Amino acid sequence: MQLIETIAPLRAALYDYRRKGETIGVVPTMGYLHDGHLALVERAKAECDRVVVTVFVNPTQFGPSEDFAAYPRDRERDLAMLERLAVDVVFAPTVEEMYPRPGQTTVSVKPLGDILIGTVRPGHFSGVATVVSKLFHIVQPDRAYFGEKDYQQLAVIRRMVADLDMPLTIVGVPTVREPDGLAMSSRNVRLTPEARAAAKVLSRALGEGERLIGAGEADPQVVLETMRGMITAEPLAELRSLDLADAETLEAVERVEARPVVLLVTAAFGGVLLIDERVAHPIAELNETEPGGER
Ligand code: AMP
């Protein structure tokens, strides 16, 4: 496994692979790796000849009052985990390498990046789209792997790639969870034991929302109010956003009828911001896929 910290030698290493006709997969991360990241790496290894994992805590996607400085980092631990998976290249640039001068060019995916979580994290998705676009230009991968946990991020990247005709395939990977349902996240280590126990309310609330929709509830407000009640009943939860949207377009939904929807939640526990998602399938859609199902 090669650890590369600057762009020029990375391009040279990748040029060699490409010249031999090998396909390249990239897994962009902010490090402090866990099994969620490793699921992306394993998928990339299964589908590509060569796998590049990028480890970069990108300052431009954090708001001024967010946790850029406090974001957990552990280079040695990350490298040991990636070594065990026999990744080909780890690209871990400094902030100066990625942003040697104040950027004048940004990528904004609008309105997709301004709605939902974009309303509580202004500028976040533009920071993500810009850095991911830079990484795509640096690595020139055939395939890139992203988690469904960051559902809106995945939608923003897919849209950027489609709108700008970027020549690669985006692969979404299902969310990996702790045994009690909490979505794995690098930020989970910053939770106090009490906040960690409280945080499982997110997956419980998402499960209840999914159950209601599966049972035929078509009014988004009923679903969201039930979920909001569960989350706000947890004293340590500070709910930041809770939305129900079309699972494909992320547009608002007036009635949950034939198309799958996604439930999206962000909440802070003791100041640690967590995010989770669940795709829910309405009863009508389920029946459509079952021969002889009731209409
Ligand atoms: P991050 O390091 O948090 O920026 O995440 C890097 C990539 O890993 C993103 O595409 C995330 O969506 C994905 N990811 C993070 N946590 C999980 C998880 N629990 N399950 C699946 N993918 C994840």
Nearest alpha-carbon partner for 131 in 40, 29, 53: 29
Number of H helices, E strands in the chain: 11, 9
Substitution candidate for ligand 1 out of 29, 35, 131 with most atoms within 8 A of CB: 29
Amino acid identity of residue 71, one-letter, is Y
Mutate to test the pocket of ligand 1, among 26, 33, 37, 54 (most ligand atoms within 8 A of CB): 37
Sign of the Cα torsion 210, 211, 217, 221 reads negative
The pLDDT of residue 294 is above 50: no
More confident: 292 or 263: 263
Q: Which tens digits make up the pLDDT trace of 109-157? A: 999 999 999 999 999 999 999 999 999 999 999 999 999 999 999 999 9
Closest residue CA from atom 10 of ligand 1 = 146
Euclidean distance between CA atoms 188 and 138, whole angstroms: 30
Mean pLDDT of the chain: 95
Q: What is the pLDDT of residue 290?
A: 52
* The pLDDT value given to residue 283: 82
37 assigned to active site: yes
What residues have CB less than 8 Å from 197, skipping those under 6 apart? none
Reported as a single tens digit per residue, the pLDDT across 173-209 is 999 999 999 999 999 999 999 999 999 999 999 999 9
Read off the pLDDT of residues 226-263 as tens digits, 9 standing for 90 and up: 999 999 999 999 999 999 999 999 999 999 998 999 99
Domains of the chain plus CATH, in order, are: 2-173 (3.40.50.620), 186-278 (3.30.1300.10)
Q: Which residues line ligand 1 (CB under 6 A)?
A: 29-30, 36-37, 39-40, 146-147, 149-150, 173, 175-176, 183-186
Q: CA-CA distance, 286 to 283, in Å (whole number)? A: 5
